[in-house]
Amino acid sequence: MRVNKAAGTVLGTLLFSSIAQAGITSTSHVYEVNGIAYEGYVAYNSNVEQTRGTVMIIHDWNGVDGYEIRRAEMLAAEGYTAFAVDLFGQGNQPQSMEENRQRTGELYADREEFRARLMGSLAQTSEIPGATDKVVVMGYCFGGAAVLEMARAGADTQGFVSFHGGLGLPEGQNYDSVTAPLLILHGSADPVSGMQDLASLLDALQEAGIEHHAQVYGGARHSYTVFGSGDYDLAADRASWSALQAFLARQLH
């Protein structure tokens, strides 16, 4: 979780500036799920003849903002088409910690609606500029938990990546319907989902016979990838980004 993703750091500013010079084309993308409008964000590299594949990004608990936009443009700079999806609705982004909890709590309490928004957003990947039929889904914090929800729901993708997500298994769910490999990237000092939760998740994936990979970053706390946050860990951020790149190259080849 994070309070202010838009603040960033000098490192983030320099990174953003270098990306802006790489021929990145970006635009908002409004779409509907069950008659409700949602507003996501698309980025792709106009300097490459063919995208390397599509990456769907699921936002943290305060919705799509500068953090997801930056990550989308980082992926576009690597040659992928990135689509940061919206699970809260156009014009319905949280404005406070209380609203963050409210929006995510509503989805956690209504798993059917949660999955409808996730699957509806996934269906939109075929409509975005530079789309491909191969998609990997990734997410941070709340988005990491949403990635696992999609996996359990049997979403048809080429892979799932959770960055410091909530790892608990909701009552009545299992991993029997997972269709693609999972990559779990987590900090050993995460107070939200600790090592016991990670071990339980890996046991469940092993029991279900699902291909899975995990990297644990010693001492990294919950929001270790979030530029400017108190939890930010440069070494863990760089290592997890490298792990993502290797996973994407393998699953979207």
- DSSP calls for 48-107: SSS-S-EEEEE--TT-SSHHHHHHHHHHHHTT-EEEEE-SS-TT----SHHHHHHHHHHH
Let me know if residue 20 belongs to a domain.
no
Let me know if residue 3 belongs to a domain.
no
What's the domain count of the chain? 1
Three-class SS of residue 27?
strand
Q: State the pLDDT confidence band at 245, using cuts at 50, 70 and 90.
A: very high
Let me know if residue 146 belongs to a domain.
yes
pLDDT score, position 8: 36
Residue 4 has pLDDT above 90, yes or no: no
Let me know if residue 179 belongs to a domain.
yes
Q: Read out DSSP for 171-218? A: TT--STT--S-EEEEEETT-SSS-HHHHHHHHHHHHHHT--EEEEEET
Domain holding 225, by residue range, is: 25-251
Choose between 46 and 244: higher pLDDT.
244
Mean pLDDT of the chain: 92
Let me know if residue 10 belongs to a domain.
no
Let me know if residue 134 belongs to a domain.
yes
For the record, the structure tokens of 24 come out as 């990145």
Let me know if residue 222 belongs to a domain.
yes
pTM above 0.85, yes or no: yes
Going from the C-alpha of 187 to that of each of 159, 191, 210, 232, the distances in angstroms are 21, 9, 22, 11
Distance CA 47, CA 106 (A): 41
Which H or E run contains 30? strand 24-33
Q: Which of 163, 128, 155 is nearest to 58 (CA)?
A: 163
Residue 93 has pLDDT above 60, yes or no: yes
pLDDT score, position 130: 83
pLDDT score, position 43: 96
Which H or E run contains 37? strand 36-45
Let me know if residue 94 belongs to a domain.
yes
pLDDT score, position 22: 59
Question: Which single residue is written with the structure tokens 């936009």?
Answer: 69
Which H or E run contains 121? helix 111-123
Provide the CATH number for the domain around residue 77.
3.40.50.1820
253 close to 204: Cβ distance less than 8 angstroms: no
Residue 21 has pLDDT above 70, yes or no: no
Q: What is the pLDDT of residues 122-135, one digit of tens each?
A: 999 999 988 899 99
Q: State the pLDDT confidence band at 49, using cuts at 50, 70 and 90.
A: confident
Q: State the pLDDT confidence band at 203, using cuts at 50, 70 and 90.
A: very high
Average pLDDT over residues 170-178: 96
